[in-house]
Amino acid sequence: MKRVAAVLASVAALLLFGLPPAAEAQKKMDKVTLRLNWYAYGEHAPFAYGLKKGFYEAEGIDLQILEGSGSGPVVQAIGAATDRFGYADAYAMAGLAAKGVPVKMIATFVQTSPLSIIYFADKPIKGPKDLEGKKVSFTAGDSIHQAFQALLKVNNVDKSKVQEVYFDPRGKMTAVMAGQVDAMGGYYTTQAGQIEAQTKKKAAYFRYVDFGVNALSQGLLVNTKYLGDRDLNCRMVRASSKAWTEAAKSPDEGAAILVEMFPKAGALELNLQQWKDTVQLMYTANTRGKAAGWMAAADWDTLLSLQKTYGNIETKAPGEYYTNEFFDCK
């Protein structure tokens, strides 16, 4: 009877005074979706790490990480407000934003471009000029393909001598492995290792950045109608910046958590190498020493100049595409 009385007293107290602080905090958690640019792989380790370590929970965010199928579709989904946050390539985002898609970048975590041309090491390819007379696979219209047009022009490559062959994102890599094409446009941080793992043949690549084309890469974006939700945006940026900073200090643990959370990501060793490669791309000379994800106007100027000069895209002022305001939250 005493136990029953105690339970009744506890219930009465809850009704009278409300939920305890912990339960109240849990009740206020914001359910948030984050749409990745691709199937989960090593580069995404920080988001998994931050989720497992409780960084998002500490900010009152109940985060659901969703896999994607390319930066272009992610930007379109955010523009349609299908997901609350997206993780996509800045080059693709700016190109679509210039055409009226209502999106804005609020943090860029990969600031030196991983864009590359990838091929088997026995191919006679060392740089852009070597692509003349070759077949190269792309997914039409994605950031890799868009920036490739700038790569050709910067390096005086005769575009008419390069045969571009288009596939879906998975198909372009399959085409390389099957010998249907000589090379593919992709991320050396991702596909080079995947090709080697699947074929047991040595892959090679050259980076766009080493041949005059560097642009900001992956970052966090929102629909412009959500820019006014300063509180949630601040908390998401704060948790994500911390996740990237801390996962970079513990790459082995970060990769292990990613593979545990997304078993289809593949072998731990491959994802660990992908994440270690990505860590080297987190900053530019303009942002080193700043919080992970903070963006420099000079880097956006470079990206937009490439698009305007080589992509025939009528760009707007840099401030129309990005904001650092959510790094300055009280």
pLDDT digits (tens, 9 = 90+) for 108-152: 999 999 999 999 999 999 999 999 999 999 998 777 888 899 999
pTM (2 decimals)?
Answer: 0.86
Grade residue 27 by pLDDT with cuts at 50, 70 and 90: low
pLDDT at 16 over 80: no
Helices (H), ranges, 115-155: 143-154
d(CA 89, CA 74): 9
E-strand stretches of the chain: 30-35, 61-66, 85-89, 103-108, 115-120, 135-138, 163-166, 183-187, 203-207, 218-223
- Domain annotation for the chain: domains and CATH numbers: 28-111+216-327 (3.40.190.10), 115-211 (3.40.190.10)
pLDDT digits (tens, 9 = 90+) for 219-260: 999 999 999 999 999 999 999 999 999 999 999 999 999 999
Between 316 and 157, where is the model more confident?
157
